[in-house]
Amino acid sequence: MTQIWFSKMEGIGNDFIVMDDRNGSIDAGMPYPRLAEKLCDRHFGIGADGIILVQNSEDHDIRFVIFNSDGSRAGMCGNGMRCFARYLYEKKIFDKKQIRVQTDAGTVIPTVKVDESGRVTAVQVDMGPPVLTCEEIPFISQKDTAIEEPIDMKDGRIVTATVVKMGNPHAVVFVEDLSKVDAAARGRALEIHPRFPEKTNVEFIQVMDAQTLKMKVWERGAGITLACGTGACAALTAAHVSGRIQTRRATVLLDGGALSIYWDSTSNHLFKTGPARRVFEGNIQI
């Protein structure tokens, strides 16, 4: 049996099991997809939305690898990246506050923010530019981009979505009243829609005012979660390109808390700032 040391962490309610596998011993003990299913089980495991592995990188400071609770591999996760950055800093794997991280979705640059005592208070993540080209997302459409795109559902309804990639695909759906939306049923149906060859995350957004968005999310491979960082970035992007808000900066209110999102017009990069917290640490045998 293999003993694994882990940190259970959360970013506004989106929770992860973070493990250091730079020596490859965890993967040798159990393949990551199976490990994710086992550890993320909220009744028979530790319980989480996904697992995050610290791995070595040849051309970056470190590598970030994430698997959803169903064992599927994700390209990136904004809330997970904040947890990852805090874990690295507090475990003294790095003593610098800003690092270059290799992900399956490309380079991501998180920066930890600390108070006078050196305690991490927040993490800002350079999420890179949003991708709106359908072919790159991927999303099946005759258009180059899918802004306010009607999607025919199996039950005969038509869902209007703006499709964005933030390392992973997102379908952003704007609604008048978020409290009346069955996010689980509608999110599940849209996640597996055939126009999304790699499935999709689904965000339901209510515009509260010129700088505030309220969001519920159905995550690909995880279902309903309390927060999604890449989804919050996709939401701001979709709200701006569809003309619902004029600003490039907004607070996104999620079930687990709030994120500050800024879309820089010069670099075209999105910056996400929010908390990350260590819940507990321990070891488990597999």
Cα 92 from Cα 85, distance rounded (Å)? 11
DSSP for the chain reads --EEEEEEEEETTEEEEEEE-TTSHHHHHS-HHHHHHHHH-TTTS---SEEEEEE--SSSSEEEEEEETTS-EES--HHHHHHHHHHHHHTTS--SSB--EEETTEEEEEEEEE-TTS-EEEEEEEEE--B-BTTTTT---SSSB-SSEEEE-TTS-EEEEEEEESSSEEEEEE-S-GGG--HHHHHHHHHT-TT-TT--EEEEEEEEETTEEEEEEEETTTEEES--HHHHHHHHHHHHHTTS---SEEEEEETTEEEEEEE-TTT--EEEEE--EEEEEEEEE-
Instruction: Tell me, yes or no, if 77 is annotated catalytic.
Output: yes
The answer to whether the CB of 71 falls within 8 A of the CB of 34 is yes
Please provide residue 28's backbone torsions phi and psi, each rounded to the nearest 5 degrees. -70, -30
134 catalytic per annotation: no
Q: Identify the active-site residue in 40, 134, 228, 233.
A: 228
How far, in Å, CA of 32 to CA of 30, rounded? 6
Query: By the 8 A CB rule, do 88 and 100 touch?
Result: no
The catalytically annotated residue of 40, 77, 83, 233 is 77
What positions carry a catalytic annotation?
77, 228
